Structure 1
Amino acid sequence: MPYTVWGLALAQALLTTGNILLVAVSALIGKQLASHPALVTAPVASQFLGLILATLPAAFLMQKLGRKKVFIIGNVFGIIGAAVAIQALLISSLLLFTLGIFLTGIAIGIAQQYRFAALDECAKDVHPKAISVVMSGGVLAAFIGPNLAIWSQQWFAQNVYVGAFVGLAGLYVLALILIIVLPLKSNTVNAAAAQTDVRSYGALFQQPLLVAATVSGAIGYGVMVFLMTATPLAMHHHDYAFPDIAVVIQWHVLGMFVPSFFTGHLIKRHGLKPIILLGCALLIISAIINLFGQSYYHFFTALLLLGVGWNFTFIGATQLVSLAYRPQEKGKVQGMNDFLVFSTAAVASLFAGQTVETIGWMWVNLISLPLVAMAMLLIAKSRTQA
């Protein structure tokens, strides 16, 4: 495996650490600053808004400017976003905090291309393993992120959450330095090639491969975000301390990324559809566990399985996408796939807080069940073969 893939995995680890910080504190900060329950997860939703608005431009810019330059731009957005969030916390402004999280969302959206960049760095026969290696960077983040969220509460006495965003800015600086020194392939496409036999979106989405990838990626990611965003709020309602919430998030993230060490092998051995369907089944089991109780172990087990289910659906979907385009269509397909996947996640994050605050935690899980079942049905009926 080329060392550039491992470098991308480390960059992914740094940015995922930042994402975990945001997951652990953003909804709680929203609850502290919001004047209405519907606004509690507005910062989380703004993060996904920034993410989805970045996906299509980032994919196209990478074909014009190369991946490295666009990755650098993304990390700069992250640094600026963390600085804005710090100022917002100091003056207790939900609007300014939401803006800061929006800017970090742009950084996260651009960083989603790390997994596609790994495909450019290695031969096609090791693509599943390359995706898994990059995603496995999240294992390091699972240990650093929640602990950083806890430790940083002691850094600034006037506001327990300011330290988290100082740490976030530091992570983006480290990722920026790493991307600068990493010799990534350019990924640029010349103008003549870009205009040759590029299919329309209508023609592209007639492919069962691409439909299956988009459905499994969007619903798998959306349900994961819906339950993950609502869980800290549900635990807070049941008077769990922040360190308990952080540990549950930590194991959730371990569930998201530890399987990456063998997901690629499982896909090669059993095929894409069985692994994606297994991931969907785990998402359903997670929601069912939440319906049976609100003890610490219910939250812990459910979120752990939620992470594993997401891993199988997301890595499987990424591999499906890589089979559904010609070289000159790379930016178009990758960008649109991420746009649809993260648009779904943004909607899920927006309604997660409002749902748990208004109609309750049980309904958060009940709503998830038919969505995942629909994804399973569509994937099972597709004629995709791998």
Structure 2
Amino acid sequence: MGTSTVTGRTRSMGALFAGVALLNTATVGLGTAATLIVAAGSGAVWSGLPSVANVLGTAAGALGAGRLLPVHGSRRVLAGGYGLAAAGALVAFAGALATSVVPLLLGILLVGLGNGGAQLSRYLAADLYPQDRRGRALSTVVWGGTVGALAGPALMVPAAGAAAGFGWPSLSGPAAVAVLATAGAALAAAFLPRHVPPPRQPGLRPGPGAPPPEPPKSPPREPAVAARGPVRPAGFVRPLVAMVLAQLTMSAVMTMTPVQLQAHGHDLGVVGWVLSAHLFGMFALAPLSGRIADRWGPHVAVNAGLGVLALAAATALAAPTAHTSGLPIALFLLGYGWNLVFVGGSAQLSRDLAPETRSRVQGTVDAVVWSASALAGLGSGALFAGGGYGLVAVVGGVLAVLPLAFSAARDGR
């Protein structure tokens, strides 16, 4: 492997990692501040609107980026998406200064559009490596979410203090941090080498300055034929189903855990400790998930993740008030089970999809998965109101084992 190839790969991985870390930092901090602003100004009943705006924006951004990447390349698409996110962060900052809900939500929606492209960065990282290393490559970018998960909350207090020092509303501080973070992500995307494309079209040769290929002598296949040929339905349906159900399980239990803790008299310190265990599970061990996917296959990582999610739900059901033991363990397992499914499913999509349809399918899968978060956020509240935290845990556990039961039934035929 040439020095220029290694340098280009390293440069690309650094840019992709930085973009994900910075977008996640912006999203976590801005989303938390916006939730508090909306709750204070419009009442707790509307406090979920920033989360819905973020999820819908991310879903739309992933769908759009998946269609633009084959045409315009990773540098243009990511830089454009991150630039849009920076503009959205500015709008949200203006809304935070004026404590106005409409610009705040519009800004978060635009930040979500950029975040949708950031989510697809893991696939771009995987495409830089041979198949036996793709799981580790994409998991490295997923691990970048750890930076945002830690930096976003950690920067909130100093940012709020700095805003107050300028005479601004304190919660405008995290919005200002989001402006800087999204602008930094756009700058990082500009460092992507021109010759490193997203999932390559058939016939394109990688390499600096590679000329466009000659038109093929035989007529190209129709996209539908390509999807039915190299891409078997199991190549995307199974990881799609597993990732959606894992997202539903994770989002439902995670969303209701703070409500459960507060209902039993615990303060924000306890809530933060339990959610920190969850975030650690979601991101910090992503490289381990990537190695499992590369060593034993993506389907093994997916099935293991679904099993861990079921165990997490069972632990939450068995210890619904154990804030120093059972719940932190349950939320850690919940995060890591999701990570195994997310990395394993992504590795399978990166490996099994045909190049001519890959980015479109990957973008569609991400859009569906993020839409599932919105559904889980709405449904978990209804479940909690109807049957408490235990019902949420039971439903989450059932959703996690459904793909395992279906796979076992198929294998038993």
Whether the TM-score (by the shorter chain) exceeds 0.5 is yes
Secondary structure at the residue paired with 1:199? Answer: helix
Q: Which range moved further: 303-312 or 180-189? A: 180-189
Note closer, same or farther for the CA distance 1:84–1:203 as it changes in structure 2 (3 Å cut): same
Partner of 2:135: 128
Distance apart, 1:307 and its partner CA: 1.1
Distance apart, 1:200 and its partner CA: 6.3
Counterparts of 1:32 and 1:138, CA distance in 2 = 29
Distance apart, 1:75 and its partner CA: 1.0
Q: Which range moved further: 81-90 or 316-325? A: 81-90
Counterparts of 2:245 and 2:281, CA distance in 1 = 18
Partner of 1:346: 374
Note closer, same or farther for the CA distance 1:119–1:87 as it changes in structure 2 (3 Å cut): same
Distance apart, 1:360 and its partner CA: 4.0
- 1:21 and 2:29 correspond: yes
Partner of 1:304: 332
Distance apart, 1:260 and its partner CA: 1.5
Secondary structure at the residue paired with 2:190? Answer: helix
Out of 85, 93, 108, the position equivalent to 1:86 is 93
Out of 176, 197, 200, the position equivalent to 1:186 is 197
Correspondence list, 1:361-376, <5 A: 361-376=389-404
Secondary structure at the residue paired with 1:278? Answer: helix
- 1:274 and 2:300 correspond: yes
Counterparts of 1:36 and 1:263, CA distance in 2 = 37
Q: Contact (CA 8 Å) 1:146, 1:249: kept in 2 or not?
A: no
Distance apart, 1:203 and its partner CA: 4.1
Distance apart, 1:55 and its partner CA: 2.0
Correspondence list, 1:77-226, <5 A: 77-157=84-164, 159-183=169-193, 185-187=196-198, 189=201, 196-199=221-224, 203=228, 207-226=233-252
Counterparts of 2:274 and 2:232, CA distance in 1 = 40
TM-score (norm. length: structure 2): 0.82
Partner of 1:330: 358
Q: Structure 1 vs Structure 2: percent identity of aligned residues?
A: 25
**1:311-364 deviation per Cα after TM superposition (whole angstroms, max 9, x unaligned):** 100001001112332111122221222122222122223444565467643433
Note closer, same or farther for the CA distance 1:97–1:197 as it changes in structure 2 (3 Å cut): same
Partner of 2:50: 43
Counterparts of 2:106 and 2:179, CA distance in 1 = 15
Note closer, same or farther for the CA distance 1:316–1:103 as it changes in structure 2 (3 Å cut): same
Corresponding letter in the other structure for 2:17: A
Out of 356, 371, 378, the position equivalent to 2:406 is 378
**1:151-202 deviation per Cα after TM superposition (whole angstroms, max 9, x unaligned):** 3333334644221211122111111111112315133648978963422698
Counterparts of 1:31 and 1:228, CA distance in 2 = 20
Q: Contact (CA 8 Å) 1:31, 1:40: kept in 2 or not?
A: yes
Note closer, same or farther for the CA distance 1:206–1:271 as it changes in structure 2 (3 Å cut): closer
Partner of 1:318: 346
Corresponding letter in the other structure for 1:113: L
Q: Contact (CA 8 Å) 2:29, 2:152: kept in 1 or not?
A: yes
Counterparts of 2:97 and 2:406, CA distance in 1 = 48
Note closer, same or farther for the CA distance 1:42–1:360 as it changes in structure 2 (3 Å cut): farther
Corresponding letter in the other structure for 1:248: V
Count of residues in Structure 1 that have an aligned counterpart in Structure 2: 382
Note closer, same or farther for the CA distance 1:301–1:102 as it changes in structure 2 (3 Å cut): same
Q: Which range moved further: 189-198 or 112-121? A: 189-198
Secondary structure at the residue paired with 1:294? Answer: coil
Correspondence list, 1:253-272, <5 A: 253-272=279-298
Note closer, same or farther for the CA distance 1:141–1:53 as it changes in structure 2 (3 Å cut): closer
Distance apart, 1:266 and its partner CA: 1.6
Note closer, same or farther for the CA distance 1:347–1:314 as it changes in structure 2 (3 Å cut): same
**1:178-234 deviation per Cα after TM superposition (whole angstroms, max 9, x unaligned):** 111231513364897896342269848862232111011111122222233333444
Corresponding letter in the other structure for 2:109: F
Out of 44, 63, 66, the position equivalent to 1:59 is 66
Corresponding letter in the other structure for 1:308: Y
Higher Cα radius of gyration: 2
Q: Which range moved further: 127-136 or 323-332? A: 323-332
Counterparts of 2:13 and 2:146, CA distance in 1 = 16
Counterparts of 2:374 and 2:108, CA distance in 1 = 13
Secondary structure at the residue paired with 1:315? Answer: helix
Q: Contact (CA 8 Å) 1:81, 1:102: kept in 2 or not?
A: yes
Note closer, same or farther for the CA distance 1:100–1:362 as it changes in structure 2 (3 Å cut): farther
Corresponding letter in the other structure for 2:371: S
Q: Contact (CA 8 Å) 1:212, 1:379: kept in 2 or not?
A: no
Q: Contact (CA 8 Å) 2:131, 2:351: kept in 1 or not?
A: no
Partner of 2:205: none
